[in-house]
Amino acid sequence: MTLAPSRGPLVLAAPADPSPLRIFGGRGGTVARLEDLDRSAQALDGAARALDAAFAALTRVQAKLDEWSAAPLDPTPEQIASITTARAARGAVEPLRHGPWGTRALAGELRDAAAKVRSARQGYESAEGLASRAFRGVLSYLVTGFTATPLGTVVLSKPLVLSLATEAAVWKLGGGPYPGDRTEKYLFVLANMIRSIGSGPRLASGDPVPEAAGRLARTIRLAQPPRKIEALEVPGGGSTGEPPRGVRDLVRPFKDAGTLNPDGSFRGDGVIVTKISRPDGSTAWSVTIPGTQRAGAGWEDHPFDNLSNLELEAGMLSDSEKAVRLAMEKAGVGAEDPVVLTGHSQGGLIAQRIAATGGFSVAAVLTIGSPTGTSTMRSTVPTLHVEHVGEPVSSLDANPNRDDKLSTTVVRELDEESSRDPRVIHDTATYEETAAAIDASEDPSVRSWLDELEGALGSDGEAESRVFSVHRLATL
């Protein structure tokens, strides 16, 4: 709050919104609001139709009373009494038809209210993401122009390579922000090209990554011998403390996990499974899943590699998901115990898969810098996606995150220096700062997700963490 000078009394002026966070989806998001607007409009319209029918029945009642009110030429006293009461009854019925609280007026009000709700719905819907949807529509049309033509993919590869080279040169020379957001558009084109290779001319897909990733993953798998997946507890890696109470508490453990570097620091390559013993005797779990650890594709001894990335985006079972499930089973996570999964980068994809495919009672998911916009990564439990502007990894889905009741996305704009370096943008330490800002947010979607977190893990109790290293072993 600042004091703005003015003539006369001082005026209190609210400061500009200092929050660097942009939040969409969740219970405060468009889809949730649209569903409620639809429900309101349907109820109001249904009631209006019923009152229209009531008005018609009342009209028939009045017609009959009009008939009874007609006086003969020489009425008897009984007939006069009958006519008088009929006319009085007509007067009593009239407000039901045309009075300010009558059926006609109420039906009109209900219809007006329904129309206003529908109008609000339209305005709300078109205000959200219209420009983005229009851009994607034009892009799809253009890409189809190539992928639906013989040799079109080959022709398209030239401008794509040129664009990428130009982006790289401009970024390196100019030192501006890392163009991670535009990656989404390039990936959209590239994934559609991969889809059309060898399968003949095809229309562009709005969600091309899962199919393209699946094709690549299956091809790589053909060249890989079967491997055994193992999760082993890291001796001395455990710790005790308080249960996580916010996003920052969930992000902080990433740096203290995994196997040890020669200098004694942690590599952050392990899976942390934290048991929370609640005062009422119940048990809840928090699982921290790291991101990609190796650049290879299937031949690495750590299963968190690029083959797993491709399989996860394709909606397939990956070695990294198997490893996390194994670590959870070895830690003793019960099928009915509430679990909160937190994943960085690839870890976020694994978390979404485990939540969607079952085996554990996942109550909430937190993804950090993960590409979760594909149809294969749709949320099935309350999920908070945290990203940074220019994120090099979360844009690999070639699609924005969904705006639905279960998915809340928080995007933070970093300072100028941080936004130049893709490693800083994607680093868990940077995300820890973002997490602190999220915990302080009053946004209804964020608060709703934090309520889910508290509901799952409780606000008190004791936490005991164990760290598991995960391996892809050769089989004999």
Partner 1 sequence: MSWTQTCSPESSRSGILGELDAVRAQVSEAVLALRGALVAEWSSVAAAEYQALVARHLEAVLRLARTVDVAEGSVRGAQLTREQATGLPW
Sketch the per residue contact string, 387 through 416, with partner 1: x for CB under 8 A, - otherwise.
------------------x-----------
257 CA to centre of own chain: 27
Angle between helix 319-331 and 306-314 (nearest 10): 90
Determine which residue in the list 19, 82, 157, 357 makes contact with partner 1, applying CB under 8 A: 82
**According to the binding rule CB under 8 A, does residue 27 interact with partner 1?**
yes
Q: Which of 11, 13, 71, 81 binds partner 1 (CB under 8 A)?
A: 81
Task: Determine, following the binding rule CB under 8 A, whether residue 450 of this chain makes contact with partner 1.
Answer: no
Structural contact between residues 257 and 288, judged by C-beta atoms closer than 8 angstroms: yes
- Taking alpha carbons only, the member of 388, 19, 432, 385 closest to residue 249 is 432
Q: What 8-state DSSP symbol labels residue 27? A: G
57 binding partner 1? (CB under 8 A):
yes
Q: Contact region for partner 1 (CB under 8 A) — 34-42, 138-146, 157-165, 179-187?
A: 34-42
Q: Which is nearer to partner 1, 66 or 416 (CB)?
A: 66
The yes or no reply on residue 446 touching partner 1 (CB under 8 A) is no
Q: Is 345 exposed, middle or buried (0-12, 13-18, 19+ CB in 10 A)?
A: buried
Part in contact with partner 1 (CB under 8 A); list of ranges 51-59, 170-178, 267-275, 372-380: 51-59
Supply 15's token pair: 């400061």
Residue 448 within binding range of partner 1, rule CB under 8 A: yes
Q: Is 377 exposed, middle or buried (0-12, 13-18, 19+ CB in 10 A)?
A: buried
- Give residue 307's identity as a one-letter amino acid code: L
Report which of 10, 4, 27 is spatially closest to residue 451, judged by C-alpha positions: 27
**How far is it, in rounded angstroms, from Cα 421 to Cα 13?**
37
Spell out, one character per residue from 92 to 121, where the chain touches partner 1: x when CB under 8 A holds, - when not.
Answer: xx-xx--x-xxx--x--xx--x---x----
CA–CA gap between residue 434 and residue 73 (Å, rounded)? 91
Identify the sign of the CA torsion 323, 324, 325, 328.
positive
Task: Give 13 or 81: the residue with its C-beta nearer to partner 1.
Answer: 81
**Residue 41: CB minimum distance to partner 1, A:** 9
Q: Where are the alpha helices (DSSP H) in 128-261?
A: 130-147, 152-174, 180-196, 209-222, 247-251
Measured from the CB of residue 221, what is the shortest distance to partner 1 in angstroms?
40
Is residue 318 classed as helix, strand or coil in its secondary structure?
coil
Quick one: which of 22, 39, 98, 218 contacts partner 1 (CB under 8 A)?
39
Region near partner 1 per CB under 8 A, out of 49-57, 283-291, 381-389, 393-401 = 49-57
Task: Give 76 or 475: the residue with its C-beta nearer to partner 1.
Answer: 76
Query: Chain centroid to CA 230: how far?
Result: 31
d(Cα 348, Cα 451) in Å, to the nearest integer? Answer: 20
Tokens of 54: 């009531």
Which of residues 71, 88, 429, 473 is near partner 1 by CB under 8 A? 88
Determine which residue in the list 183, 383, 419, 445 makes contact with partner 1, applying CB under 8 A.
Answer: 445
Task: Convert residues 294-323 into a mask of x (bound to partner 1 by CB under 8 A) and - (unbound).
Answer: ------------------------------
Taking CA atoms, 189 is separated from 186, 231, 393, in Å, by 5, 38, 17
Q: Give the total of residues touching partner 1 (CB under 8 A).
A: 55
Give the DSSP per-residue string, 225-270. Answer: --EEEEEEEPTT--EEEPPP-SHHHHHGGGGG-SSBPTTS-B-S-S
Among positions 22, 64, 98, 133, the unique one binding partner 1 when judged by CB under 8 A: 64
Residue 334 tokens read as: 């019960």
Chain length of the chain: 476
Interface with partner 1, residue 248, by CB under 8 A = no
Please state, in angstroms and rounded to a whole number, the distance separating the CA atoms of residues 268 and 256.
Answer: 6
Of 1-9, 83-91, 253-261, 267-275, the segment contacting partner 1 by CB under 8 A is 83-91
- Least distance from partner 1 to the Cβ atom of residue 57, Å: 4
Stretch of 86-94, 228-236, 325-333, 391-399 contacting partner 1, by CB under 8 A: 86-94
If the CB atoms of residues 64 and 228 are measured against partner 1, the closer one turns out to be 64
Q: Is 21 in the site for partner 1 (CB under 8 A)?
A: no
| Interface ranges with partner 1 (CB under 8 A) | 27-29, 32-33, 35-37, 39-40, 42-44, 46-48, 50-51, 53-54, 57-58, 60-61, 64-65, 68, 76, 78-79, 81-82, 84-86, 88-89, 91-93, 95-96, 99, 101-103, 106, 109-110, 113, 117, 405, 444-445, 448
